Chain A
């Protein structure tokens, strides 16, 4: 399932003070792939995401997206290029409504300014209508949970699982090519996890997104990933299909010597 090369990361390093958060990391994503990044806590997974999305500047190395370097771009510019993300510790706009959360995410895809809104121009109304409809479409991806009477409720009333869903919807609303999912099923119960696993597959098959996912739940990783990358202490220690990686002695050692299958069940 490998198409053109979308994201190519070359010998990326970042140090915080004396700590090598990431060291000489090589990574790539092809169009239409689902890649999982796993590793023990503190392995540098979230830092890795922060660097792709422009929130942390790497010390050395390069991030190339569709042939252009992303280095030096602000997070909003990275998002505008087509890389959206979710956050490990769900960070919604809690006092905005659910619909507003996905409408505001389309900011970089729209352009009506202060005067357009003040004069209520035709293009303003058309654009409002478009982002409203697209927002509802994105929310509809999660069944009836986030639509209907929910649209006008503030995000703060949502349950934990629904917040995670809304985060994904918000990332989808930026009309990206790549979505970076940071622990999408953390805190969900088995039933919800199973459902979301199916939806992650649909993000690719129905919406055509390419997905990079950090996840601790090995069952999810096994079920959806084309490829698994294992990080430990800021370095890639293994890479390949789930079966290859899960039998790799280095990976087993990184996870405190315990077989990963034991973790999964």
Chain B
């Protein structure tokens, strides 16, 4: 949002008069705001989320779901793209005015809805056209109060959005930090409760912050806001200094610093689950499963550029393989192997599935490939459910009593040979979420390692070449069929790990867990996080699955689960328009761009030899070496 944060260069033109507006744009944005407010109200989301309190008794998630919009659009309408050579005006009353007008138009639209809700009955096509929505919008008052409330609030928030353009960069950072902290703290109440439980004194602090029922106490909210401001004003600078020190150290001693970082992360990963409660561990297991899936799909889509919309198929293969191999009640074959032995067979099954699905699909390109994979994703699920396979998979009844991934080594007998391994019990696993979390982290670590190694290898480069231009890659000596099949199989194996852990975690398996929606959610995670970037994919899984929830799993904001897909869709559209590189952009690329800028600046000052500075932005003639 800080794209036009003011660094105030000296030669700004004087501020324009408040009425000197691009009225067309202002009205357009106002109407968009109005439509959005009405649409969100009619989805039933605000009323549904009203029970989730942020600051008791002032603000609930329901009101927030409407109130962020005038602010955001008031901020957006005052955005001006400044190109080289254009006159740049000082910001001032004009921005405030534009924001306020946009807010006013939006507020009027919502007021119109309030009035119509009171006078008309459109509940036939619009299911949420009802009394609770009216009560929510008027805060149980009269229609007039409702109209006044929304016109006033929306105008004020639009004005506030415009104000963000005027205040210096530090100010807007402060506001953002305060809002994010308070809302975040309220949203993560369950998590924080869970974390602080039993920790000395912290429990008391948390109790003071939060209202006994739900939401923050007003005093707690104010305290948090002050803390956030303090962090921005003081800690932010310290952190920046620390980051600079870290970067310097890393440049000087890359191996040592990297080793220390890896050890630190590993130690945190091992210690963390011990301090987390059951709820948080369970949440992290869900996030971890989707990290695993998204990392796998990232290899297929992000690196090799194969748009696989049926990725859930491999998840199902992993889950069902483990279920059949380990569950004592699996209807067909039932070898009741321990999890850790079954996992090797799962890898083999996933490889076979990858080759089996990949071989016919891989010769297609682009859209055709996407459609065919979409079909295969469903085919696997329908096969599992069919009468033909139900003797093996349990059909629609699924399979039950799948044991957890115990670390009980031994006790099983090798088939054919008849040799029994001596029993060696380390009874620390089971289906306890804390233990499952370790298992998930183990597989996520494998997936990250595999992604990282392959990305910077001969195979990874071949995948990228295929992604960039398949026919050229082939003309440069890359066997594209082999390369794509390899990507498919590696992706399949990672997904099958996720499936295996999922089956062991839940203890039962049904085909309904492997619907097409799972594929879509994984793809959205990859796109929102940042295609082809490991950190981006992990961040995407945390944001989408951790906060909003997965296809069947609740997230932190369990209240949102009903509107999850709506939010996914809106997020996807917004990301594609505004930030197509994903949440975490490619560090390498941004560094390169900075380097280029730096060199061009140096060239303009005549400090660097012309040819070396590269003259890409200008022309390239003339400076050939003699």
Contacts and interface: CB of A to CB of B under 8 A. Distances in A.
B475 A53 contact: yes
A100 B588 CA distance: 13
26 contacts: A75-B475, A84-B477, A92-B468, A93-B472, A96-B461, A96-B468, A104-B473, A107-B477, A117-B458, A128-B457, A128-B458, A131-B458, A143-B625, A144-B611, A145-B614, A154-B589, A158-B616, A159-B616, A159-B620, A162-B620, A174-B477, A191-B621, A191-B624, A192-B621, A192-B624, A195-B624
Contacts of A170: 476
B550 to A, nearest CB: 29
Contacts of A104: 458, 461-462, 464-465, 473, 476, 478
Interface in A70-84: 74-76, 79-80, 84
B80 interface: no
Interface string A135-158: 000000001110011101110011
Nearest to A149: B595
B458 A75 contact: no
Contacts of A94: 468
Contacts of B72: none
A114 to B, nearest CB: 6
Interface of A: 53-55, 74-76, 79-80, 84-85, 87, 91-97, 100, 103-105, 107-110, 112-114, 117-118, 120, 124, 127-128, 131, 143-145, 148-150, 152-154, 157-162, 170, 174, 189, 191-192, 195
Contact of B457 (A108, A117, A159, A195): A117
Contacts of B588: 97, 152
Given A108-B477, A148-B612, A157 B596 contact: yes
B454 interface: yes
A134 to B, nearest CB: 13
A76 B464 contact: no
A118 B454 contact: yes
A254 B620 CA distance: 34
Given A74-B474, A76-B475, A105-B477, A93 B624 contact: no
Contact of A93 (B450, B465, B471, B596): B465
A110 B458 contact: yes
A109 B477 CA distance: 9
B453 interface: yes
A202 to B, nearest CB: 13
Nearest to B462: A107
Contacts of B465: 93, 96, 104, 107
B615 interface: yes
Given A93-B464, A95-B464, A195-B624, A153 B479 contact: no
A107 to B, nearest CB: 5
A100 B464 contact: yes
Contact of A91 (B469, B592, B593, B611): B469
Contacts of A161: 620-621
A118 B464 contact: no
B280 interface: no
Interface in B457-507: 457-462, 464-465, 468-469, 471-480, 486, 490
A110 B603 CA distance: 40
Contact of B458 (A112, A120, A144, A158): A112
Contacts of A158: 616
A144 B476 contact: no
Contacts of B14: none
B592 A79 contact: no
A97 B588 CA distance: 10
Interface string B181-214: 0000000000000000000000000000000000
Contacts of B450: 118
B93 interface: no
A110 B459 CA distance: 10
Contacts of B349: none
B598 to A, nearest CB: 10
B422 interface: no
Given A108-B477, A114-B486, A174-B476, A144 B599 contact: no
A183 B614 CA distance: 24
Nearest to B620: A159
B597 to A, nearest CB: 11
A232 B599 CA distance: 48
Given A55-B475, A75-B475, A117-B454, 20 more contacts: A75-B471, A76-B476, A76-B478, A87-B472, A93-B468, A107-B461, A108-B477, A109-B477, A110-B458, A114-B459, A117-B458, A118-B450, A144-B625, A148-B612, A149-B599, A159-B616, A159-B620, A161-B620, A174-B477, A191-B624
